[in-house]
Structure 1
């Protein structure tokens, strides 16, 4: 048996950077992720052979039959390249003249296929990003750039610089986030944490406060604020939000009660997007596939907006329609 080799750090960091550390298939933020080898060869570390997947979507590359049909490499590559394109647009809003970064990146069609092949010259992309961060004095983005390429000391240096500026501007939530990401939870200044907490309390943003305490390793306070957030959602009859945060806080059994209420309401309203989200959070994948197939095979599909239609086609496994929709959406965005 051939021994597996580790992905080189510069290639791994570049892959994570291009994907914004997000699964290219579902794009759900905050999920645990891993770098997937598209051709199944764990020793082929070419950039074009790598994609970031969450653990849930990665499972779909392993399972055969039923809803958990195998995600093939060509479809994953299509999702990945769409994510890279979208991230380019996002970063373009953050950094001036961002198009200059992508002169070394070309998306070109491979012979006899409709798939894109990403060509990149080493890590010049990240180095140019760093140069632009210096020009704009965007110390936060610069700190994360250095962190991504494993230059911890430089990342720490610019994180401290950003923290100092944020303190002067009294942006306490940003201060605490950067301290957590670069210094570790044990080094967060208590007075800064108190100020950040007060902002969350003032805004009654209890779900984010719960996440903060959870990340800081304080599950007791995390539970208190999860419960407060959930109580408010229940009073407001916001069943999906209540179920979502119950599940996130580890109470999936109770979460199902509220997610099913939300599902019933969204089905009654004919809200396809939120019906899909309910089925996903309930992990009712067979029912989700049946729901999607019913819509895809009906006249209603013509009334569905392209982004939701894309979700439906992904669920039923219509790869040709997925490619067609993505192409049309790209053309539409270019016209705008």
Structure 2
């Protein structure tokens, strides 16, 4: 017997998440197709875009039209229908979402932000609150809520929800923002090691190399400098010195 979501009424967020995931999956599948299907897929995409848009237009659902055009990458029409949706009246959650996909969160009224904060106070909304914090650029708060919310779902054996939001966290850019914060903190402390590590995690290897070379004299003059000698040798491309530094580190158990 098949069990699942038949007859289940999805809430607004579930509908949006499902639709966005579906479109992403379809897009990925098409990207992997060979060129022989390109014309057929192009026609299918056009039919999809126009047919779905017409359904929403007939209903006067400007919010759905904005989401639709965002998903298919039509920024001009997305922005047109965002303005119409907001002009017609939206709740705080919708206004924040629509402005966030525009990357114009500064246009959200303060009253809408305060209203949404109030709506998300209850712990049961912690993952929605995580997304809200990410949308408005509060990356530390977003990371905390994502981690705690995902942990709660794992303890509740809600594995799909935990996996979904873990994926959302990984794709959100929050990890990179945290490494940037770590870089700033290390710079404020004048901590070369953690500056280098943060730059490496951000993939900024040229900046990391340049930073090490700028501190060459300090590294050579320091007493406890084996790790930095290794970094300096790598930055200079000196294989012999790098090997000597590695051997010295190995003797210390590192």
Which protein is richer in strand relative to its size? 1
TM-score (norm 1): 0.36
Q: Which one has a bigger Cα radius of gyration? A: 2
TM-score (norm 2): 0.45
Bigger relative CO (Cα 8 Å, ≥ 6 apart): 1
